[in-house]
Amino acid sequence: MLKRWIYFTGLGLFITVVSTGFKTKAEKQFGKIEGFHIAPNEITHYTVPTPDETEQVTYRLPYTGKSYIGFKQAVGIKESQGLYKLVSRYGYLGKYQFGKRALRTLGIYDTKEFLNNPALQERAFKALLSKNKYELRKEIVKFEGKIIKGIKITESGMLAAAHLAGADSVKRFLYSNGNKSFRDGFGTSIKSYIKKFGGYDTSIIVAHSSPKVKL
């Protein structure tokens, strides 16, 4: 009798432990994952799939589509693989690979604090987009929807290219019909950024001539 009681007690404990590993639709906060930071006013939760759903597809990643969240995550992956503490061999910093000069224009001087503060990096990225949108406000109206060198020009593509090379380089590309282009130290071109990051919804970005970011 004692042996049977021990057997069934052990079996019950085993089933309890195993079952805790299969909770479906558990909420996961991707804002706490390295390389995926979401501000308080953005969507903060996604769900993981059930066992049945995982059999239907190979991958179930957070789908952000052509939203602003999707845009900034795509740029971050391209720039640094989403690594907030990355410093490139050219001295560019963080997830979005900021130069020190660009940071100073936003009021950020402490690069150590910048590298260790994901939320600050996200605010800085949004602020720089705001500045570039102001610098390119006329070009956005003039060129959006046009085709240059086989590439459809969109606001998000222009903003991404400006992050890569600066607003003036984007203007030279546009007004030269794509004949005057820029490549960074890794050989990445304005044209490739306009194409890769085209069609995202960046309407959340408000143009500002001199945005500043507070620590």
| 17 found inside a domain | no
Q: Is residue 53 part of a domain?
A: no
CA–CA separation, 51 vs 180, rounded Å? 52
| Alpha carbon distance 86, 73 (integer Å) | 15
- Rounded Cα distance between 94 and 103, Å, is 11
Per-residue pLDDT at 170 exceeds 70: yes
Query: Quick one: average pLDDT of 159-184?
Result: 94
The count of domains in the chain is 1
Q: Is residue 49 helix, strand or coil?
A: coil
Q: What is the CATH number of the domain that holds 129?
A: 1.10.530.10
The boundaries of the domain holding residue 189 are 68-196
pTM for the whole structure: 0.71
pLDDT digits (tens, 9 = 90+) for 50-60: 444 334 444 44
Question: Distance between CA atoms of 52 and 32, rounded to whole angstroms?
Answer: 27
Q: Of 31-40, 159-168, 198-207, which range is least confident?
A: 31-40
In a domain, 109, yes or no: yes
User: Domain for residue 37, yes or no?
Assistant: no
Residue 22 forms part of a structural domain: no
How would residue 191 be classed by pLDDT, with cut points 50, 70 and 90?
very high
d(CA 64, CA 201): 11
